[in-house]
């Protein structure tokens, strides 16, 4: 079953709830949540879940951005490596010289 856009963050809530239930949570974030809720534990837990989900989404976005940068870097290296393997600088130089000569001839003929 594919989650709709509206509920695509459900997995983050599941992770945060799991952390809360087993007691493996960010203590500083929980303290802030309870303080913001004026000591109300249930409201504090709700705030904690909300903030923790935001943090998990940010981590996901950061990881995706890093993967995209790495993919771009690898593609660039692969292309650069292909050029280095198949075309020497001498080849490129002489190809450009030949291209200029051909263009000059075409211009002179017309």
At 34-60, the pLDDT tens digits run 999 999 999 999 999 999 999 999 989
Name the domain count of the chain: 1
Secondary structure tally for the chain: helices H, strands E: 4, 0
Residue 76: domain span: 5-109
Residue 1 has pLDDT above 50, yes or no: no
Q: Average of pLDDT values for 88-107?
A: 77
d(CA 43, CA 34): 7
d(CA 7, CA 20): 20
pTM: 0.61
* pLDDT at position 82: 67
* pLDDT at position 84: 65
């Amino acid at each position: 079953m594919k989650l709709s856009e509206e509920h695509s963050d459900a997995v983050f809530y599941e992770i945060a709830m799991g952390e809360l239930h087993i007691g493996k949570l960010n203590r500083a974030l929980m303290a802030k949540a309870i303080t913001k809720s004026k000591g109300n534990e249930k409201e504090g837990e709700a705030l904690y879940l909300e903030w923790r989900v935001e943090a998990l989404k940010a981590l996901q976005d950061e990881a995706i951005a890093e993967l995209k940068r790495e993919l771009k870097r690898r593609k660039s290296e692969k292309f650069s490596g292909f050029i280095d393997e198949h075309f020497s600088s001498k080849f490129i130089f002489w190809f450009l010289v030949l291209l200029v000569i051909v263009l000059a001839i075409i211009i002179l003929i017309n």
